Structure formats: C-alpha cells, structure tokens
Amino acid sequence: MSLSIVNEVKGLGVSVAYDVITGIDNTKYPAELEDEINRAVAEVRQTLSLDALKDHPIIRAYRDFYWRVLGIDPTKQRPAQEALLRRVLRGEPLPRINPVVDAGNAASIKFVVPIGLYDLAKIRGGQLRLRPSRRGEVFHPIGGSPYELNNQIVLASDGQILHVYPYRDSVETKIDPSTKDVLVVVAGVPGVEGRRLVETAYYLRRLLSMLGGRAVDEVKLV
C-alpha cells in the first residue's frame, strides 16, 4: 500500500503520516486498551479546557484550513478531533464503536489531530492519492446519504473514494468487527509539524498491538 499527494494538494501545505497494521482481532477489548483510553481522556481533561479549546494552536491550524482552503465554517462542521475533545471536555464519555475505532479516537484526542482508519480488505487497488475531487464524483459517508463532491480534497484509489479530507470517511472502507488489516492515516495541515503526525501514528500502533496488530513497515510521512 502506498500513498502520495498530488502537487496541487501538496501546495496547500497538506501532509499525512500513514501506517499499515495487520492481524488485528477487532472482537476483543483487552483491559490494557481500556486503561490506555481512560488515561488519554483523563489527560486531556487535566490539560485542556472547553472555553480555551478554539484557541489551541493545533485546533486553530485546522480551523484556519477549513475556512481558508475548504470554505467550511469550522463552528458548523467542526474538525473531527475538536468535536471529540469538546465531548470529552463537557464530561461526556469518548464514543465507543469498536476497539480499533476507539483506539483511534483516543490517539486523536491525545495528539489533537484527525485520524482516518480504513479496512484494507475493502480498498480497491494499492495506490492511494490525495487529490482534488472530480466533477460528478459521489461520496458515500459513514452515517449519511451519498452526495456529489464539489471542489474538495479526497483520498482515493482506482475510482473509490475513502475519505473527504480531513474530516469524513467512507462507509465503503469503514472498520467493523471483522476487520483484520488497517490503514491508518493521520491528517496534517499547515502549522502542524510532521513529527506530531508520526508520533500519533506510532502511539496508535502501540494501541493496536494490544489487539494483536503487527506493523508492516515504518510509519511514512508524505
């Protein structure tokens, strides 16, 4: 599996760290993973506040990208990690979907960056690109109705769209209890160091190892 960013998108300051983890058992929930998720929640509650969250430099970077590049109001369509953090800082629990997704959410709030997770068995082709959407392309989001894309950034392979960057994943490649092999994509924007993206991916690799996951290679930054 390889991932590249076309020049038109790279010129916007976009970067990603990606990783492939295989052999996961997504039907079990080991105590050590539960403990790590609880630690991540406790950590952000101790170090962040709801009132000041919008001014956090990493949150600010994603909000600016939404406004200036995507033309999206980030107070109406919040960056994914901000939405999770707001929930946790209001005293609500981190959403529980399945062990892999829950691990991804824990990593997302800990490092304040959005993470995409994809079932490798559902991806058509091994060449992924971050590129502008094309006229007439239709996206099938998790938890929503299909819609036609209009001048957006997508992660795509052989005509299959996995993700609208950097906030929404496709139902076609979503993680479910049968998932064994996972592609991890940590989404970066201008103002977010590549090192943070890579550290996030390695942290998530450690969490997925608790589910029996094994890394195929080193985390890659593009």
DSSP the chain: -EEEE-HHHHTTT-EEEEEEEES--TT---HHHHHHHHHHHHHHHHH--TTTGGGSHHHHHHHHHIIIII---TTTS--HHHHHHHHHHTTPPPP-S-HHHHHHHHHHHHHT--EEEEEGGG--SSEEEEEE--TT-EE-BTTS--EE--S-EEEEETTEEEEETTTEEBGGG---TT---EEEEEEE-TTS-HHHHHHHHHHHHHHHHTTT-EESS--EE-
Phi, psi of 132 (to 5 degrees): -70, 150
What confidence tens digit (pLDDT) does each residue in 119-174 have?
999 999 889 999 999 999 999 999 999 999 999 999 999 879 999 999 999 999 99
Angstrom distance (rounded) from CA 142 to CA 118:
12
pLDDT in tens, the chain (222 residues): 899 999 999 999 999 999 999 999 999 999 999 999 999 999 999 999 999 999 999 999 999 999 999 999 999 999 999 999 999 999 999 999 999 999 999 999 999 999 999 999 999 988 999 999 999 999 999 999 999 999 999 999 987 999 999 999 999 999 999 999 999 999 999 999 999 999 999 999 999 999 999 999 999 999
What is this structure's pTM? Answer: 0.96
Angstrom distance (rounded) from CA 121 to CA 170:
14
Domain of residue 166, CATH code = 3.50.40.10
Please tell me the predicted confidence (pLDDT) of residue 126: 81
- The range of the structural domain enclosing residue 66 comes to 2-221
Q: Evaluate whether 40 touches 84 at the Cβ level (below 8 Å).
A: no
The rounded mean pLDDT for the chain is 97
Number of domains in the chain: 1
